[in-house]
Amino acid sequence: MGDLKTKRLKIIITGANGQLGRCFQDIAEHYQDYDFHFKTSKDLNITRKDQIDSLFAREKFDYCINCAAYTAVDQAETDQENAFLVNAEAVKFLAEACKVQNTILIQISTDFVFDGSKTTPYTEESIPNPINVYGASKLKGEQNVQEILENYFIIRTSWVYSEYGHNFVKTMLRLGAEREEINVVDDQIGSPTYAGDLADAILKIISLKATNYGIYHYSNEGAISWCDFAKAIFEIKGINVKVNPISSKAYPTAAKRPVFSVLDVSKINRFMEIHCWKKGLKNV
């Protein structure tokens, strides 16, 4: 771990109204030494290079945490242009501004950069091979960061959920209130990640003044299927719903999903404690 000069750090967080952005807002009050600048898409359109350059030149940020993303996985299959605009081109604009202003970029990426063909957790050295447009656009964003910057953290995460926005947990709770039984895919395996834990982990990296730049994997510990995740949600909430396991073939989607996308988090785990997915779920 290297050192940065001690001062009140100025941090811009894009995508402030998204799941992760909202979780950062929740915990910001616990980090009085940091000067947070939360930017929604209305405050800052990251697809506009002129807006980014103007803001960065004026404010001189120490860190940029890019939580803004095009995350509609199925929609991206027929909206490739916008997916790549937000997840790749806009990331390039941010990286260029960070380079000029000597800002450290923390770019959020995804397990969907992998094809899911492995049966052991993906490490940071595993070769990406996305099988859908969303994954391809996020990988291109990663590559843009790596080509432009030396001082960056790319953090790949998986199966993110929170109290906010649209996510699997909220969908299950809604369906559980409406139905007596539901069908959930049981042949896709991953690690659910509470966005609040991810936000804490990112601020831990900043607080450590880390200069071990590069790619890191972060998810909550443990691997599970969507079906078993749904069962755990209902069990914790005390909702009596029958959950029927089905195959992915029985629930076709526009975008292919990785069958196995568990991330190896041992690299980042050297610097911080990582909670089990069930603890994060109980918090929500």
Q: 46-73, pLDDT tens digit by residue?
A: 999 999 999 999 999 999 999 999 999 9
Across the chain, what does the average pLDDT equal?
A: 95
CATH assignment at residue 75: 3.40.50.720
β-sheet bridge partners, residue 153: 106, 214
pLDDT at 4 over 80: no
The predicted pLDDT at position 7 comes to 72
Domain assignment present for residue 60? The answer is: yes
Residue 134 annotated as catalytic: yes
The predicted pLDDT at position 213 comes to 97
Give the domain extent around 33: 9-166+192-220+262-275
Angle between helices 195-207 and 19-27 (to 10 degrees): 60
Q: Which amino acid is at 218?
A: Y
Domain assignment present for residue 105? The answer is: yes
| pLDDT mean over 258-271 | 96
| pLDDT mean over 248-254 | 94
Q: Which of the following is catalytic: 63, 70, 122, 134?
A: 134
Full-model pTM: 0.95
Q: Which amino acid is at 102?
A: N
- As for how many domains the chain has, the answer is 1
Sign of CA dihedral 180, 185, 187, 193: negative
The predicted pLDDT at position 72 comes to 96
Domain assignment present for residue 38? The answer is: yes
30 pLDDT band, cuts 50/70/90, is very high
The predicted pLDDT at position 2 comes to 46
pLDDT at 6 over 70: no
Domain assignment present for residue 270? The answer is: yes
β-sheet bridge partners, residue 215: 154
pLDDT at 90 over 90: yes
The predicted pLDDT at position 283 comes to 87
The predicted pLDDT at position 118 comes to 96
pLDDT at 3 over 80: no
Beta strands in the chain (DSSP E): 9-14, 34-39, 63-66, 104-110, 152-157, 160-161, 181-185, 189-190, 193-194, 214-217, 224-225, 242-246
Q: 151-177, pLDDT tens digit by residue?
A: 999 999 999 999 999 999 999 999 999
**Residue closest to 198 by CA, chosen among 168, 183, 220:** 220
The predicted pLDDT at position 133 comes to 98
The predicted pLDDT at position 14 comes to 98
